[in-house]
Amino acid sequence: MRVPIRKPGKYTHLKPDPCLTEEKFNELKDQLAKLKASQPAAADEVRRTAEMGDLSENAAYQIAKGRLRGINQRILDLQDHLNRVVIIKPAKNAEAVELGRRVTIEINGQQITYLILGSEETDPAQGIISHHSPIGSALMGKKTGDAVKINQKNKVIECRIIKVE
């Protein structure tokens, strides 16, 4: 069976953001442990299906082998990511916006609160944004009372920082 070879896309080999909270770090470690525990069963399945006959026409073998490759690749990716992790620990009593801090801003009379974390943990619907996002990057390093200009696609939004927690 011939496997299609696809051209790598723009985002194919980007390394994940190393900034994580302790909870996310532990979640990834648990995921790695589960993958390592499932690896022997997947290898046994490859061995079992290899005994069924001609490997070139054995679909079950090809599927089992692909599953094992996927597990192995995910293990390698997780190990690499976990080796480069930087745990987010905001400084105590710091006044400036930094990773791990909650920031309340005012835009056009409306107050919005954001938690600034790494790219891997963002959830804009819950008010969790990345320090790489347009809003997050504009707020980084600013203090309470500062006026901030946020560059969006075709407009500039001005806001004021109300509170940094």
Strands 110-117 and 19-20: unpaired
Residue-wise pLDDT tens digits, 60-94? 899 999 999 999 999 999 999 999 999 998 878 77
Query: For the chain, what is the mean pLDDT?
Result: 88
The answer, yes or no, to whether residue 6 has pLDDT greater than 80, is no
State phi, psi for 157 to the nearest 5 degrees.
-105, 135
Instruction: Please report the domains of the chain, with CATH numbers, ordered by start residue.
Output: 19-87 (1.10.287.180), 102-164 (3.10.50.30)
Residue-wise pLDDT tens digits, 28-37? 999 999 999 9
pLDDT at 67: 95
pLDDT at 54: 77
The answer, yes or no, to whether residue 129 has pLDDT greater than 80, is yes
- Mean pLDDT is highest, among 13-17, 25-29, 108-112, 157-161, for 25-29
* pTM higher than 0.75: yes
Between 10 and 33, whose confidence is greater? 33
pLDDT-derived band at 27, boundaries 50, 70, 90 = very high
pLDDT at 37: 97
Those residues with Cβ within 8 angstroms of residue 84's Cβ, 6 or more apart along the chain or in another chain: 15, 18
| Least confident window among 25-29, 47-51, 66-70 | 47-51
- Within the chain, strands assigned E span 19-20, 86-87, 102-107, 110-117, 128-130, 147-151, 156-164
- State mean pLDDT over 139-152: 90
